[in-house]
Structures are given as structure tokens and as C-alpha cells.
Amino acid sequence: MSIEYRHVKDSEFDALASLESIAFYGRPRPDDGEYLRKLTKPEWTLAAFDGGKPIAAVRSIPAARLMHGTQTPFALISPATCQAAYRRQGHVSKLLRQSLELMKERGQPISGLYTPHDALYRRYGWERAEEKRNLSFDPGRIEFRTPAPPGKTRPATQDDWKTLDAIYRRHVDPLNGALVREEDWWRFSVMIDWEDKDRRAREIVVWADESGEDRGYVVYQNRPTGQRENGWPQQEIWVRDFVALDAGAYRGLWQHLLTHDMASNVVYESHPDDPFVDLCEDPFVVTVTRGEGPMIRIVDVEGAIASRPYAGGSSASFTMRISDESAPWNEGVWRVEAAEGKMRAQKTDAAPDVEMSVNFLAPLYTGFRTAETLAAVGMITVHRAEALAEITNAFAVTDPPFTQDYY
Ligand SMILES: CC(C)(COP(=O)(O)OP(=O)(O)OC[C@H]1O[C@@H](n2cnc3c(N)ncnc32)[C@H](O)[C@@H]1OP(=O)(O)O)[C@@H](O)C(=O)NCCC(=O)NCCS
């Protein structure tokens, strides 16, 4: 068997769409190839071919991740697939390694992906580095502690994406972990249900205050649960995107969502610090569970650190030995310096203060974990104990890492 690894060609998008749908246990839709051609570029997808047919593929979508007002080029892996007959033969492994080289060449120093298979991607340096807080509740049982604010909701459509984007950017620019969204992302990832066979449009509502200024929006959809109660089909409201610039918008948008009387449940995958539960008269009517965030990979230590803002105290400096079998350019001892809002990393011959796999640099980088936490469970080997506080200071964040996007 001779397998060829290369980028897909425009003429191969239909076969690629079919491979990806079947691998995810879906049925290919007749226009899947056409959509792939419209929404992605051939050079984003590396595939393995047997006899000219794609049998495995990894797509790296170029994006940008926001952190405290700066944007870092970011490669989203979505999806990684292998045809069942070719699995566990190392094809996706080869494609992931080649993708890392491409990201480095393309100046994308960090990458992210969503997966239920942590063990697979950990082998290649991705690590859990963000999370969400899942809230679910019966809307009929929610009573808020604050009064409904004056203001109005109005329905919006996909053509209003710029209105939503303006509200979104005001909210997420200073925060940590959101993606910059282009028009296609708004239309095809946020505003429709891509997995639905008809790519159903989601509901969109904008909230404006008394003066008429737009201060928030919500994108959500009704999902049938497949169950019936007293003969009635049950449904839940899934909140895809919720942005409120102030307390009025927050309260007003929730008020809108609670009017969905036919829903037996509302599901919201919220920011880890979202205060929704505190706003409820009875916090125990809300079920709170840990929600999945993306795994993150530091593809290029030097580039990733150079583009990261520094939000810590006066200055920080430490050395770290990084091991990275899949991206050998990261291997070695690095001196990291942080001062006056900026960071940089340079290779050094100095002894390392700490040692870690590139995996654990990801939760430090995003601010998901502190150096002390990782050291306490053996994920960082410490040679100079005082360095831990320097590292935590260097990677300080003003807000936990969080994105409402899925990929
Ligand atoms: C998951 C999937 C992409 C793996 O592709 P593959 O070509 O079989 O993977 P590889 O053979 O390159 O595996 C590389 C390594 O990861 C391991 N691995 C593969 N799939 C794994 C999984 N689901 N969980 C944990 N480890 C896994 C392999 O055992 C191998 O380890 P080794 O090098 O120690 O032997 C493929 O099974 C698939 O398409 N599944 C259905 C769609 C899917 O789940 N996609 C990923 C969603 S994020």
C-alpha cells in the first residue's frame, strides 16, 4: 500500500466531504462538497490518499485568537478524520505532524481543537487549556432577584452579522480567548446549525436600551429532545452565543429566553465566571457542570510568547526547558522575559529553572493553570522554587480563557 500525503485539490472536495461526513457517522449531503469549496481553501486541508482517493484528512483553518486587546494568529484543527478501514495505521498522526510544520511556516504560533479524544492529541502536544461552565435549568422555575430593565428586544437575521460583530468585539476584545470572527464564520458557524440536515437558521435577538443603543444579543436554537411528556414533544433551548455589554442587556436577554414556554430545559455553556446562578432567587434550580473548552497547542514557543501580552506585575524572568517530540524547533532551554506589557522568549545555554513538556505550556500560556498548580501535581519539574512565582506572574491574565466558539 503506497499512501500519498498532500493538500487536497479543488476537484477532490466532494470526496473529502464524503470522507468527513461518514467518519462522523453522518450522511453526506449532496451539497457538502460545494460548501467545503466555498468555505475552505485547498491549502487548508492535508490529506492521505490511497489510489487517488482521500482516506484521512486534517484541516487547519486560519483564525486569530484575542487576548487582552492583542490578536495572535491561530490554527483551528477541524476536523481530523480517517476512514474506518485505515484507522490506527498512523495516518492522522502523520497529518498532524505535517500540519504543525505548516503552521510554523505560516506564522500561526498557537493552535486549538475540540475533541473527546484527549489521549490522541496529547501525544502531539495539544492540552486542555480552557473550559466552560454548563448551566441547565427549567425556564419555568427561574425567578430573578433584580427587576427587568427598560429596553427592547428585536429579532435579527444573518444579514445583521455586522451589528452583532460590533457588540461582540466591544465585549471580547479586552478579554482572553475569543476568536476574531469573519463574515463566513458568523453566517456558517454562529448563525446556522451546521450539523442539521437542512443547516437550519438559529434564532437571533438583539437587545437595545431605552435610548435605542444596541447593548447585547443572543443566538440560540430549539432542540427537540426526542422525548414526549403528556403527549407533547419535549424541546430545549440551546444558547449558542450570548453577549451583554451591561446589566440591562444581560437581564433583558435572559428575560427573553425565559419566555420560551414550550422548552423544558435551557442549556448555556457559559464563561467560567458567569454570575447567572447568583441572579436566581433559588440557585439550586440551576444544574452546573464542567463544560468542554478547546485543547490548545503552543506550535512555536518563540512566536507564541512574542505575541502574548504581559498582564503581570513589574517584570518577570525565568528559564524553562521544553521537550517537544512533534515540533523539535521548540526543544531546548528558553529564557522568558516579561515587562512593560510585552513578553519574549530566546534560546539560552543557561540552566533551566523548570522543565516541562510543551503540552503544559498551553494551560500556563492561556492562564488556565498557574505554575504552582502544575508543579503541585508533577506536570512541571522544578529546579528553582522561586521561579514558580515568576512564571505565574509572567503568564498572569485578567480574565479566565474562554470562547463561545466551537470548531
Ligand atoms: C480519531 C481518528 C481521527 C484517529 O485517526 P487514525 O489515523 O486512526 O489515528 P493514528 O493511527 O494516526 O493514531 C495515532 C496515535 O493515536 C492513537 N489514537 C488513535 N485514535 C485514538 C483515540 N480515539 N483515542 C486515543 N488514542 C487514539 C493511536 O493508537 C496512535 O497511538 P500510537 O502512536 O501510540 O500507536 C479516527 O479514528 C477517526 O476518524 N475517528 C472518527 C472521527 C473522529 O473521532 N475524529 C476526531 C474528532 S476530534
Grid cell 478524520 is found at: 81
CA angle 77, 46, 183 (to 5 degrees): 50
- 151 pLDDT above the threshold of 80: yes
The CB of 87 under 6 Å from ligand 1? The reply is: yes
- 162 pLDDT above the threshold of 70: yes
The CB of 38 under 6 Å from ligand 1? The reply is: no
Q: What is the pLDDT of residue 197?
A: 86
Q: Name which of 178-182, 304-308, 312-316, 366-370 the model is least confident about.
A: 312-316
The answer to whether residues 178 and 190 touch, using CB atoms and an 8 Å cutoff, is: no
Ligand 1 pocket, mutate which of 88, 98, 111, 195 (most atoms under 8 A from CB):
88
93 Cα to the center of ligand 1, angstroms: 8
pLDDT tier for residue 24 given thresholds of 50, 70 and 90: confident
pLDDT mean over 204-232: 95
Give the model confidence (pLDDT) of 365-394 as tens digits.
Answer: 999 999 999 999 999 999 999 999 999 999
pLDDT tier for residue 32 given thresholds of 50, 70 and 90: very high
- 25 pLDDT above the threshold of 80: no
Counting from 1 in the atom list of ligand 1, the atom nearest the Cα of 115 is 48
Q: What is the pLDDT of residue 1?
A: 65
Q: Which residues pair with 136 in a beta bridge?
A: 267, 287
pLDDT tier for residue 34 given thresholds of 50, 70 and 90: very high
Give the model confidence (pLDDT) of 325-342 as tens digits.
Answer: 999 999 999 999 999 999
Helices (H), 106-133: 118-122
CA distances from 332 to 167, 255, 282, 315, 327 (A): 43, 54, 53, 23, 11
Sorted by where each starts, the structural domains of the chain and their CATH numbers stand as 3-108 (3.40.630.30), 133-292 (3.40.630.30), 295-394 (3.30.1050.10)
Distance (Å, rounded) from C-alpha 169 to C-alpha 71? 12
Q: What is the pLDDT of residue 195?
A: 86
Give the model confidence (pLDDT) of 91-121 as tens digits.
Answer: 999 999 999 999 999 999 999 999 999 999 9
Q: DSSP character for 196?
A: S
Distance (Å, rounded) from C-alpha 127 to C-alpha 360? 7
Which residues, other chains included, contact 36 with Cβ-Cβ below 8 Å and sequence gap of 6+?
A: 13, 16, 17
Distance (Å, rounded) from C-alpha 262 to C-alpha 390? 53
- 74 pLDDT above the threshold of 90: yes
What count of other Cβ atoms lies within 10 Å of the Cβ of residue 144?
14
Distance (Å, rounded) from C-alpha 227 to C-alpha 224? 8
The CB of 384 under 6 Å from ligand 1? The reply is: no
The answer to whether residues 138 and 235 touch, using CB atoms and an 8 Å cutoff, is: no
The answer to whether residues 136 and 188 touch, using CB atoms and an 8 Å cutoff, is: no
Distance (Å, rounded) from C-alpha 120 to C-alpha 374? 21
* Collapsed DSSP state (helix, strand, coil) of residue 225: strand
Taking CA atoms only, the protein residue closest to ligand 1 atom 16 is: 120
Ligand 1 pocket, mutate which of 55, 120, 121 (most atoms under 8 A from CB):
120
pLDDT exceeding 90 applies to what percent of the chain? Answer: 92
56 Cα to the center of ligand 1, angstroms: 11
- 9 pLDDT above the threshold of 90: yes
102 Cα to the center of ligand 1, angstroms: 20
Ligand 1 pocket, mutate which of 82, 83, 407 (most atoms under 8 A from CB):
82
Distance (Å, rounded) from C-alpha 197 to C-alpha 80? 21
**Which burial class, exposed, middle or buried, applies to 224 when counting CB atoms under 10 A from its CB (0-12, 13-18, 19+)?**
exposed
Q: What is the mean pLDDT of the chain?
A: 96
